[in-house]
Amino acid sequence: MGEVIITKILVTGAEGQLGTDLVMMLKVTGYDVLGMGKSALDITNEKKVYNMISQIKPDIIIHCAAYTQVDKAEAEPDYAFLINGIGTRNIALASEKIGAKLVYISTDYVFDGCEDAPYHEFAPVSPINVYGSSKLAGEMYVRDFHSKFFIVRTSWVFGGYGNNFVKTMLHLSKEKDQLKVVNDQIGSPTYTVDLSTCIMQLMESDKYGIYHVSNSGSCSWYEFAREIFSQTKNKIELEPCTTEEFPRPAKRPIYSVLDHMGLRINGFDPIPDWKDGLTRFLLQTKNNPQFFV
């Protein structure tokens, strides 16, 4: 019998919401996985990145590490671009040098939100905030410096680890009888488990390129909250409001629903509806109360 070769995978940002789920799911599936958080790997240090990746020699790098504080980025653009742009360049160059595949996690915020139909992978990009611009810079470095890449744009992510909209709504419902939630921003919620499953399918293929990966369907933040409380049988009073009523430092795209054209035309599995993803997430949290500590 021949030797069984196990794929070695490096996950950056392994302590984040997506990275944590990815590392667990990859391990369960039988991959040789190394997850690295911020303290283990400073992606802005080009020499350290190169040395670390040359030493580990992964077959695949999934680059989840990112600056994700959308509003704060407006006040510190240099730092956002350092991490999301230059940090990604460092990962891309080191990854290309050793011949590893690269999966880069990007965002729906590369779009301006001015369309009224879902954005496919070939639609022109035009970010309206620093965060979106810095993530687009990362995309550009990946495309310029790497030959075997998957750029995965996702949106409105929620999962068991870290902070997200679902957890915020459930926490607030314990403190308040009434909530106002924005009803004029439309997007696609995405469960980390479904996102991770799709990433694993992509990375095993040679169908390189840009992919939009979110749960199917779309909603406003208000409709998302309403579904959360409906599924948890929470009687809190919800009131829709406009973006203007809750001004924030960073502009958000009004419409950033992602069309999964890339997945369809390359023959990958369709992704479940966001309501189905929410159901499974709520079941996950019910079985694992520590998620809400």
Span 87-99, average pLDDT: 98
- Look at residue 227 and tell me if it is in a domain: no
Confidence of residue 3 (pLDDT cuts 50, 70, 90): low
Span 217-242, average pLDDT: 96
- Look at residue 224 and tell me if it is in a domain: no
Residues 199-210: tens digit of each pLDDT: 999 999 999 999
Q: What is the CATH number of the domain that holds 110?
A: 3.40.50.720
Number of domains within the chain: 1
pTM score: 0.95
- Look at residue 38 and tell me if it is in a domain: yes
Residues 116-130: tens digit of each pLDDT: 999 999 999 999 999
Confidence of residue 4 (pLDDT cuts 50, 70, 90): low
Residues 20-65: tens digit of each pLDDT: 999 999 999 999 999 999 999 999 999 999 999 999 999 999 999 9
What positions carry a catalytic annotation? Answer: 131
Q: Which residue has the higher pLDDT, 182 or 293?
A: 182
pLDDT at residue 293 is higher than 70: no
Q: Which residue has the higher pLDDT, 136 or 291?
A: 136
Domain interval for residue 46: 8-164+188-216+254-273
pLDDT at residue 292 is higher than 60: no
- Look at residue 232 and tell me if it is in a domain: no
pLDDT at residue 1 is higher than 50: no
- Look at residue 100 and tell me if it is in a domain: yes
CB neighbours of residue 176 within 10 Å? 11
Mean residue pLDDT of the chain comes to: 95
- Radius of gyration for the alpha carbons in the chain, expressed in angstroms and rounded: 19
pLDDT score, position 162: 87
- Look at residue 97 and tell me if it is in a domain: yes
- Look at residue 115 and tell me if it is in a domain: yes
Amino acid at 85: G
Span 165-174, average pLDDT: 94
pLDDT score, position 16: 93
Cα 226 from Cα 236, distance rounded (Å)? 9
Q: Which residue has the higher pLDDT, 3 or 244?
A: 244
Question: What percentage of the chain reaches a pLDDT higher than 90?
Answer: 91
- Look at residue 119 and tell me if it is in a domain: yes
pLDDT at residue 271 is higher than 60: yes
